[in-house]
Amino acid sequence: MTNYIDRRLNPKDRSLGNRQRFLRRAREELKRAINEKIKTGKIADANADQSVPVPIKGTSEPNFQLDRASGRRDYVLPGNKEFHAGDRLPKPPSGGGGQGSGKDASPGGDSEDDFQFVLTREEVLDLFFEDLELPHLIKLNLKEVKTFKPRRAGYAITGAPTNINVGQTMRNSYGRRIALRRPKRGEIEDKEAEIAALEARDGPSAEKRKALAALKNELEVLKRRRKVIPYVDPMDIRFNRFEQQPLPNANAVMFCLMDVSGSMGEREKDLAKRFFVLLHMFLSRRYERTDLVFIRHTHEAQEVDEETFFYSTRSGGTVVSTALEEMERVIGERYPSNEWNIYAAQASDGDNSRDDSGRCVAMLDQQIMKLVQYYAYVEIIDERESDIFRATENGTALWKAYKLVSDRWENFQMTRIAEPADIYPVFRELFAKQSNSGKN
Amino acid sequence: MSTTAKRAGLLFDGSDWNFDTLSRTYDAIEEVALNDMKLDVYPNQMEIISSEQMLDAYSSIGLPLMYRHWSFGKHFVHEETAYRKGRRGLAYELVINSNPCISYLMEENTMAMQALVTAHAAFGHNHFFKNNYLFRQWTDANAILSYMEFAKGYIARCEERHGLAAVESILDAAHAIMEQGVFRYRRPPRLSSEREHERLRERLEYEEKTFNDLWRTLPARKEGEDPTAAEKEAQERKRQLKLPEENLLYFLEKTSLILEPWQREILRIVRVVAQYFYPQRQTKVMNEGCATFTHYTIMNTLFDRGRVGEGTMLEILASHANVVFQPHFDDPRYSAINPYALGFAMMQDIERICTEPTSEDREWFPDIAGNGAPMETLIDAWANHRDESFIRQFLSPALMRKLRLFALSDSSGRDHYEVSAIHDERGYEKVRSALANNLDVSANQPDIQVADVDLLGDRHLRLHHMVRDGVALSEHGREATLKHIKRLWGYRVSLASIDAQTGELISENSVGSN
């Protein structure tokens, strides 16, 4: 008779410690794999679970193995059908898989490493955004908290009548009345009854008159005292005190501004889209709710849905300020800056109609930069130009104009990208923990 | 016998199990195993586990207690992925060579499967663990669980004290040479308790006390010319370090100059685990053969006695047939010789030779042919062989013909394989010997030894890989493994490949400089 032990209810995460150690070990490699994936362009999947190959480097377990391709050996195989001793069989081409040579018997390290490892969206983003922080996020939060919620915080001696705390007030009043010995109504009534009783006694006498006078005097004192010591004194009154508690703003809205005029081709739009997706991923990670507003512009701007934004084309000139106007309008209508953290990302090839750049700068300086937490401008340049432009301060009309804004406002960032592989570094630069590394 | 009467004798009916039917079935199986088969087993401890716990057990290389290391996490992810995708099923059971012998049964198993695996693991494997000479000599079933408990706790404490990274790097390095961390020829020291430590120290003290310098002055050996002074010194050095040493982990643990005591203890833990599993690798065919033969015999006996129904028996036989299925070499499902199939076939064959020998058997196996005691013969074979010797001793021509075994010789210089022997009169010996060699674990692992080290000089650790039949070390992982050894040794490490027959130096790699 043996005992059966039911282990099914034992804690289930026995290998959790090992799993964590493995993830930590593989972290660098996994990060690289994720970055590679995003760089090389399956960005639409970036916001979902990712299946990545388990990294070989860093998690390989080397040991001494015999080289199966060298030396002499005999295999024994089952199922001979036609062979006789001395028969020769051609070796299968290169590296002997297939044809059952019995080599797969010992567990090689090779097969272990090419399995896919599913990382959840959270894990992906964790790996991807690990080193990134929104610029001055903490500072901005403290400085620019714009919503408050009153919270009870003790009592005050001043305040609005609606906030009187009756209980506290009456307690003070009662204590004061006891301390100052304010006569009670009963005491006065007793006195009056005594006087009445004395007056009712027959036969006036000097004694009676004297006693009556004394009593009346006492009554008078009591009455005066009662009048002088009020039932509720202003100094008894207590008000409920409220403090304004700042509420962190958990909503963000991201404005995507893009030039869709003819000069923006497929490539430019694709690059811009990647940048927006990355920004959105980042924001949606930091904020409970992240709205997206897409504003496209040619010589006129309009708010559109995402599909239209990226995939429909329009022809026309380029007037950037129209987009800024539209953005201001939308902010005014739907996203008051005290309730929303506003982020703006603008992508353009740098074209702008003459004179408009100055107007843009003025609008940014006077209105928009005060409303937004962050404004990122990416200029998509030709691959051939990238070497020329990346280093210099020279550039398109818009670039030069924005340069002025960027010098004045710390939360304005601008940069140039030329190819998909540029995006991630640029993005990192824009949102690197120390934003001053991007600027001088 | 009417159906109802027969049903009354059934241990269970239907596929659901509960602890009642499990116990009843266990008792019936135990009776057959101990009384009919005369097996000798450790007390059993049966545990029911879920599939996730089975994956857990897989990833910690089959021990119920294991220290923590990322590689086990990696294996878990690997096993889990394979399992979830349906690429691989889980074993029905897992059995641990310990006293009491722990068998894990999966909760998903049907009652018929539970009966089958109880017979297979709790009696077949258990008997083998308790009686086979390799397990008896080289592992300590009584101590392994408490030792692993100690090991787990010890490594956890090391992680707390010295940091995860420090412990991890030692474990990584130790795991890399785990296969070189076993005593193959010398019997390993027992898992030492305090008292044995004490005795060891006393003996060392005694040697120190009775040290006599005079022994050193004995005249050198007469025969041959006098070795030069340098050679003599080297020989003295090797003698003191007991070189050459095949157990790298043991050598590093005892000799490395840079390791802290806790690091040595970790090497020791890894070495003990490696040593613990070494007999299992050497007896795969026999162990599985023994267990399969046991469950087959027990379940058939129970069926004959009317204790299990026909439906149950059919399920058991289907499962049994799956287990012992051996695809032919040209079958896409072929991956290697199935140890269950070969083992079981050999056990049945031995039974046949003992009871109904042919004249061929009488010629090949004069000792056992027709001795009429199959169980005694098997029990004796199970106790005294490992795969390699078992095949050499017991693989019969009849079975070679039945499995249609043939040997294929492969030489790296040529562009073709050659069929060196088949299952015919001229080939039996050759096929048998080749198969035995294939199953000889130590012959299929690189033979790497510590050849020399001058502890007083440059401390250059010289390893020799003895190359047999021209089989070189794979470059894959060689460099990385050497680096791991360097981490444990601290000074220069070099690995020379030397032809075992000619003594000729083939190649040399080294890591680190002085």
Residues of A numbered 299-318 whose beta carbons fall under 8 angstroms of chain B's beta carbons: which are they? none
- Quote the crossing angle between the two packed helices B261-282 and B284-304, to the nearest 10°: 50
Res A435: pLDDT: 41
Q: Which of B417, B418, B434 sits opposite A76 (nearest CB)?
A: B434
Asked if A69's CB is within 8 angstroms of B48's CB, the reply is: no
Distance (Å, whole) CA A396 – CA A377: 13
Nearest Cβ partner for A7 among B53, B175, B434: B53
Q: How far is B344 from chain A (nearest CA, A)?
A: 15
Same domain for B51 and B116, yes or no, is yes
* Torsions phi, psi for B327 (to 5 deg): -70, 150
Chain A and chain B share a number of CB contacts under 8 A equal to 282
pLDDT score recorded for residue B189: 56
Question: Is B73's CB within 8 Å of A73's CB?
Answer: no
The answer to whether the CB of A420 falls within 8 A of the CB of A41 is yes
Asked if B471 and A66 count as a contact pair (C-beta separation under 8 A), the reply is yes
Domain of B476 in residue numbering reads as 444-511
> B329 in contact with A at a CB cutoff of 8 Å?
yes
**CA nearest A90 in B: which residue?**
B416
Domain count for chain B, please give it. 3
B333 interfaces chain A, CB cutoff of 8 Å: no
Dump pLDDT digits (tens) for A372-390. 878 888 888 877 766 666 5
Give the distance from residue A423's alpha carbon to the nearest chain B alpha carbon, in angstroms: 32
**Rounded Cα gap, residues B461 and B467, in angstroms:** 19
Residue-wise pLDDT tens digits, A127-180: 665 544 444 343 344 334 456 778 888 898 888 888 899 999 999 999 999 999
Helix (H, G, I), strand (E, B), or coil: what is residue A151?
A: strand
pLDDT of residue A29: 73
pLDDT at position A93: 66
In a domain, B218, yes or no: no
Query: Is the Cβ of B507 closer than 8 Å to some Cβ of chain A?
Result: no
Contact A353, A289 (CB under 8 A): no
φ and ψ of A92, to 5 deg: -65, 145
Chain B residues 136-165 with a CB less than 8 Å from chain A: 164
pLDDT in tens, B130-186: 999 888 887 888 888 888 888 888 899 888 888 888 898 899 999 998 888 888 776
CATH architecture for residues A249-437 = 3-Layer(aba) Sandwich (3.40)
For residue A437, pLDDT beyond 50: no
* CA atoms of A86 and A89, how far apart (whole Å): 10
**What's the CA gap between B446 and B463, in Å, rounded?**
12
Say which residue the tokens 């409920």 belong to: A240
Mean pLDDT by 10 residues, chain B (514 residues): 51 83 89 89 89 80 82 80 71 82 87 89 91 85 85 89 89 89 70 56 68 66 57 72 82 86 89 88 90 92 89 90 88 86 92 90 88 89 91 91 88 83 87 89 84 81 86 83 89 87 81 66
Residues of chain B numbered 472-491 and touching chain A (CB < 8 Å): 472-478, 480-481, 484
With 50 as the cut, is the pLDDT of residue A189 above it? yes
pLDDT computed for residue B345 by the predictor: 93
| pLDDT value for A345 | 86
Name the minimum distance, in Å, from the CA of A88 to any CA of chain B. Answer: 4
Q: Is residue B272 part of a domain?
A: no
- Its pTM stands at 0.65
Q: Does the residue B172 lie in any domain? A: no
Residues B377 and B486 in one domain: no
Q: Which residues pair with B4 in a beta bridge?
A: none
Q: How far apart are CA A231 and CA A180, in angstroms?
A: 11
B73 touches chain A (CB under 8 A): yes
| B263 in any annotated domain | no
* pLDDT one-digit tens code per residue, A88-101: 888 776 544 444 33
Closest CA–CA distance from residue B406 to any residue of chain A (Å): 6
Q: B115 in contact with A at a CB cutoff of 8 Å?
A: no
What type of residue sits at position B445?
A: Q
Residue A110 or residue B312, greater confidence: B312
Alpha-carbon distance of A348 to A269, in angstroms, equals 9
Please write the tens of the pLDDT for every residue from B343-396. Answer: 999 999 999 999 988 998 898 998 888 888 889 999 999 999 989 999 999 999
Q: How far is A98 from chain B (nearest CA, A)?
A: 8
Cβ distance A15 to B419 less than 8 Å, yes or no, reads no
Q: Give me the amino acid identity at B382.
A: W
Tokens (6 digits) for B500: 């075992």
Check residue A178 and give its pLDDT.
92
Question: Which run of H or E residues covers position A5?
Answer: strand A4-6
pLDDT in tens, A278-297: 777 767 666 667 778 888 88
DSSP assignment of B84-126 = HTTSSPPPSEEEE-SSSEEEEEETTS-HHHHHHHIIIIIIIIH
- pLDDT score at A54: 64
- Expressed in percent and rounded to 5, the helix, strand and coil fractions of chain A are 45, 20, 35
- B477 within domain boundaries: yes
Is the Cβ pair B331, A78 closer than 8 Å?
Answer: no
**CB contact at 8 A, B122 and B103:** yes
- Based on the domain organization, do B16 and B118 belong to the same domain? yes
Instruction: Specify whether B342 is located in the same domain as B305.
Output: no
- In DSSP notation, A36-47 reads HHHHTT-GGGTT
Evaluate whether A374 touches A346 at the Cβ level (below 8 Å): no
Instruction: Please give the structure tokens belonging to residue B76.
Output: 């878990």
Mutation test of the interface with chain A: which of B168, B419, B467, choosing the one with the most A Cβ atoms within 10 A?
B419
Kindly state whether residue B14 falls inside one of the protein's structural domains: yes
Whether chain A has a CB inside 8 Å of the CB on B52: the answer is: yes
Q: Would you call A67 and B473 a contact, using CB atoms and an 8 Å cutoff?
A: yes
- Please provide the size of chain B in residues: 514
- CA B325 to chain CA centroid, Å, is 22
Of A438, A419, A422, nearest to A430 (Cα)?
Answer: A438
Residues 19-48 of B with CB under 8 A from A: 19, 22-23, 26-27, 30, 43-48
Shared domain check, B347 and B335:
yes
Residue B169 maps to a domain = no
Provide the residue type at B502 as one letter.
T
**Is the CB of B426 inside 8 Å of chain A's CB atoms?**
yes
Highest mean pLDDT pick, A107-111, A400-404, B161-165: B161-165
Query: What does the pLDDT read at residue A141?
Result: 41
**Is B104 part of any domain?**
yes
Domain coordinates in residue numbering, chain A: 19-59+113-126, 161-241, 249-437
Closest by CA to A257, choosing from A95, A125, A168, A368, is: A368
Amino acid identity, residue A218? E
- Helix or strand holding residue B236 (H, E): helix B229-240
Indicate the burial class of A137 (C-beta count within 10 angstroms; 0-12, 13-18, 19 or more). middle
Q: Are the Cβ atoms of A18 and B76 closer than 8 angstroms? A: yes
Pick the residue with more confidence: A116 or B200?
A: A116
For the residues A102-122, what does the mean pLDDT come to? 49
Identify whether residues B54 and B80 lie together within a single domain: yes
Cα A52–Cα A54–Cα A97 angle in degrees, nearest 5: 110
Q: What distance separates the 2 farthest-apart alpha carbons in chain B?
A: 91
Contacts of A117 (CB under 8 A, 6+ apart): A30, A51, A52, A53, A54, B77, B81
| End-to-end CA gap in chain A | 81
Q: Which two tokens stand for residue B331?
A: 């079958």
Give the model's pLDDT for residue B292: 92
Chain A environment of B476 (Cβ under 8 Å):
62, 65, 109
- Chain A residues 258-297 within an 8 A CB cutoff of chain B: none
Q: What is the largest CA-CA distance in chain A?
A: 161
pLDDT reading at A65 higher than 80:
yes
What is the structure's pLDDT at A20? Answer: 73
Interatomic CA distance for residues A356 and A351, integer angstroms: 10
Shortest Cα–Cα distance, B199 to chain A (Å)? 36
Same domain? For B374 and B494 the reply is no
Q: Tokens for A366, please give them.
A: 């006077």
Q: Is B467 on the interface with A (CB under 8 A)?
A: yes
Tell me if chain A has a CB within 8 Å of the CB of B500: no
The per-residue pLDDT for A44 is: 42
